Amino acid sequence: MSDMPATDPIETVETEPVISTEADDFERLHPLTIVLKTVAAASQNLIAMGVLYFSVFDRNIIYTLLAAISLMAVITGISALVWSRFTYHVGPTEIRIKSGLFQRNNRSIPFDRIQDVSLEQKLVSRLLGLATVKHETGASAGEDGKLDALALNDAQALRDLLRDYKSGLVAGSGTATGIAAEKTVIPPLFAMDSRRIFIAGLFNFSFVLLAILGAIAQNLDFLIPSEYFDPWYWADRFSEREVIHSIGLTAQIAGAVGALFSLIFIGVGSGLVRTFVREHGFRLDRVDTGQPGFRRRRGLLTLTDMVMPIHRVQAAIIATGPVREYFGWYHLKLQSLAGDPSGETDHSAAPCARPEEFAPILSETNIAGPTDEILFQSVNAAFWWRDAVIMFLILMTVAIIGGLHVHPGVFAAMLLAVPAIAIMYLNWRRHRFVLSGNQLFVRRGWWRRRLTILPIRKIQTADISQSPLDHPLDLATLTLGVAGGTSLAPLRISAIPLNQAHALRAQLI
pLDDT range class, residue 194, cuts 50, 70, 90: very high
Which amino acid does the sequence have at 95? I
Q: Write the CB contacts of 82 (distance below 8 Å, at least 6 apart in sequence).
A: 37, 101
Residues 265 and 305 grouped into a single domain: no
Residues 420 and 477 grouped into a single domain: yes
pLDDT range class, residue 83, cuts 50, 70, 90: very high
Domain boundary among 224, 254, 278: 278
Residues 343 and 395 grouped into a single domain: no
How many C-beta neighbours within 10 Å does residue 454 have? Answer: 23
How far are the Cα atoms of 291, 312, 347, 403 from residue 334, in angstroms, in the given order?
17, 10, 5, 53
Which amino acid does the sequence have at 159? R
| DSSP code of residue 39 | H
Q: Write the CB contacts of 129 (distance below 8 Å, at least 6 apart in sequence).
A: 2, 3, 4, 5, 9, 151, 152
Residues 341 and 466 grouped into a single domain: no
> Edge-to-edge, what's the strand order for the sheet holding 491-497?
459-465, 475-482, 491-497
Stronger pLDDT, 234 or 432, i.e. the higher one:
432
| Radius of gyration over every alpha carbon of the chain, rounded to an integer in angstroms | 28
Residues 139 and 68 grouped into a single domain: yes
pLDDT at residue 162, rounded to an integer: 84
**Residue 71 resides in a domain:** yes
How far are the Cα atoms of 120, 190, 203, 273 from residue 197, in angstroms, in the given order?
21, 13, 10, 10
Write down the mean pLDDT value for the chain: 80
Residues 34 and 163 grouped into a single domain: yes
Q: What is the spatial distance between Cα 81 and Cα 168, in angstroms, rounded to a whole number?
A: 39
**Residue 196 resides in a domain:** no
* Percent of the chain whose predicted confidence (pLDDT) is above 70: 76
DSSP string, 180-226: HHHHS----SEE--HHHHHHHHHH----HHHHHHHHHHHHTTTTS-G
- What's the rounded mean pLDDT across residues 323-330? 95
* Percent of the chain whose predicted confidence (pLDDT) is above 90: 39
Stronger pLDDT, 452 or 143, i.e. the higher one:
452
Torsion of CA 163, 177, 341, 443, to 10 degrees: -90
Domain boundary among 228, 258, 278: 278
**Residue 395 resides in a domain:** yes
Residues 31 and 163 grouped into a single domain: yes
Residues 353 and 473 grouped into a single domain: no
Domain boundary among 364, 390, 421: 364
pLDDT higher than 60, residue 24: no
**214: number of CA atoms within 13 Å, CB side?**
9
| DSSP code of residue 458 | G
How far are the Cα atoms of 98, 335, 373 from residue 332, in angstroms, in the given order?
40, 10, 21
**Residue 4 resides in a domain:** no
Stronger pLDDT, 202 or 249, i.e. the higher one:
202
Residues 306 and 326 grouped into a single domain: yes
pLDDT at residue 13, rounded to an integer: 41
Q: How many residues are present in the chain?
A: 509
pLDDT at residue 39, rounded to an integer: 86
For residue 96, count CB atoms less than 10 angstroms from its CB and return exposed for 0-12, middle for 13-18, buried for 19 or more: middle
Q: What is the spatial distance between Cα 35 and Cα 83, in angstroms, rounded to a whole number?
A: 11
Residues 16 and 155 grouped into a single domain: yes
**Residue 1 resides in a domain:** no
Residues 94 and 167 grouped into a single domain: yes
pLDDT at residue 364, rounded to an integer: 93
Q: What is the spatial distance between Cα 213 and Cα 224, in angstroms, rounded to a whole number?
A: 13
Reported pTM:
0.78
Highest mean pLDDT among 103-112, 120-129, 261-270, 463-472: 463-472
**Residue 197 resides in a domain:** no
pLDDT at residue 197, rounded to an integer: 95
Q: What is the spatial distance between Cα 157 and Cα 175, in angstroms, rounded to a whole number?
A: 8
pLDDT higher than 60, residue 321: yes
**Residue 188 resides in a domain:** no
Summarised one tens digit per residue, pLDDT across range 370-394 is 888 889 999 999 999 999 999 888 8
Q: Which domain holds residue 302?
A: 281-364
Residues 326 and 397 grouped into a single domain: no
pLDDT higher than 60, residue 200: yes
**Number of domains, the chain:** 4
pLDDT range class, residue 10, cuts 50, 70, 90: very low
Angle between helices 33-44 and 46-54 (to 10 degrees): 40
**Residue 193 resides in a domain:** no
**315: number of CA atoms within 13 Å, CB side?**
30
* Out of 8-17, 286-295, 493-502, least confident range: 8-17
Q: Which of helix, strand or coil describes residue 29? A: coil
pLDDT higher than 80, residue 132: yes
